[in-house]
Amino acid sequence: MRRYCGLATVAVCSLALSISATAQTYHIVNHWKVGGEGGWDYVANDSAAHRLYIAHNSRIEVVDTNTGKLVGAVTGLKSTHGVAFDPDGKTGYISDGAGNAIVVFDRSTLSTNNVIPAGKNPDGIAYEPVTKTVWAFNGRSNNISVLDTASQKIIATIPLPGKPEFPQVDEHGAVFVNIEDKNAIVKLDARKHQAVATWPLEGCESPSGMAIDRARQRLFSVCDGGRMAVMNYLTGKLVGVANIGDSPDAAAFDPKHNLAFSSNGGDGTLSVVDTTKSGFPTVQTLRTAKGARTMALDPSLGRIYLVTAQFGPPLQPTATTPRPRPAVVPGSFEVIVVER
């Protein structure tokens, strides 16, 4: 509907139109079909190579972000969770949960170079540039396996106070990770291979995904109950809590536009949070799709990639699986492409 402004209210109306135009910025521009079967986890974007890496069941699917076409996969794995990139542009590292291993692969050929035993169920994974190490966060043994990339050997195993989720690095020798069952963030010294602080996330239950703003020294942890906690990682102080969607599993931060994102699989939304304003307001809630709980940001393009699939009827609960996930419809797995 066209909106008209009288002379007396032109300033107010112009402001309202400006807010409306800037608030609803992101929209879905494409759906890339990947196919295959089974569940999925984290998504990692390699901007320089124009490739998207998706942990999809026992494979890492690789999609060309110029064309949206599947270019190959890293196969022979058991249950993948995440991918980290070496700055050499040649090497990648996979956390293979059911394999209890870090898998080293060639990013040009997608062939496996090495399989290195880690802890139980490595989940989140990160490359730490100061020490040139890869950190795999083991969800069932509550510890971290630290891989030296030169020798390709585990050089440290660091205990944690609970179940680790997603990590981030500050690129100056500090590593941070959400502790899901303790509602906390642990800070680690990459040089000393030890935890140096544990910070509570008050009002933030079961933190999972984490993003980082290195310019303002902030961490964004997404939690159950529709909350995103914002913490100063120099002081460990909580500086705010944003309202987001239901059942998030990943977070991202765009330093160009100072926006934080949460992908919410429960209600099928993408929350966009303005990090420059007091109270960290959510300026857009974009409808995506049910199950689109993980994502990757390409800051060079202002593009966000989310993944999901169609679901079959709910499964019957059992004693061992009281809240089963619905079955995934084979062949329906896809990438949802969002742009400004």
Please determine, for residue 129, whether its predicted confidence score (pLDDT) is greater than 60.
yes
- Over residues 214-246, the pLDDT tens digits come to 999 999 999 999 999 999 999 999 999 999 999
Interstrand relation of 248-254 and 237-243 (parallel, antiparallel or unpaired): unpaired
Please determine, for residue 318, whether its predicted confidence score (pLDDT) is greater than 80.
yes
Per-residue confidence (pLDDT) for residue 93, from 0 to 100: 99
- Over residues 61-89, the pLDDT tens digits come to 999 999 999 999 999 999 999 999 999 99
Confidence of residue 164 (pLDDT cuts 50, 70, 90): very high
Q: Is 277 helix (H, G, I), strand (E, B) or coil?
A: coil
Report which residue type is found at 249. Answer: D
- State how far the Cα of 327 lies from the Cα of 263, in Å rounded to an integer: 21
- % of the chain at pLDDT higher than 90: 88
Per-residue confidence (pLDDT) for residue 2, from 0 to 100: 35
Read off the tokens for 28.
């879905």
Per-residue confidence (pLDDT) for residue 24, from 0 to 100: 65
Report which residue type is found at 294. Answer: T
Please determine, for residue 314, whether its predicted confidence score (pLDDT) is greater than 90.
no
Average pLDDT of the chain, as a whole number:
92
The answer to whether the CB of 95 falls within 8 A of the CB of 123 is: yes
Report which residue type is found at 2. Answer: R
Mean pLDDT of 262-280: 97
Report which residue type is found at 24. Answer: Q
- State how far the Cα of 157 lies from the Cα of 110, in Å rounded to an integer: 28
Q: Where are the domains of the chain?
A: 27-68+201-340, 76-183
CATH superfamily, with its number, for domain 27-68+201-340: YVTN repeat-like/Quinoprotein amine dehydrogenase (2.130.10.10)
- Looking at domain 76-183, its CATH architecture is 6 Propeller (2.120)
Confidence of residue 19 (pLDDT cuts 50, 70, 90): very low
Per-residue confidence (pLDDT) for residue 3, from 0 to 100: 37
- Over residues 197-212, the pLDDT tens digits come to 999 999 899 999 999 9
Per-residue confidence (pLDDT) for residue 13, from 0 to 100: 40
DSSP string, 12-68: HHHHHHHHHHHHS--EEEEEEE---SS-EEEEEEETTTTEEEEEETTEEEEEETTT-
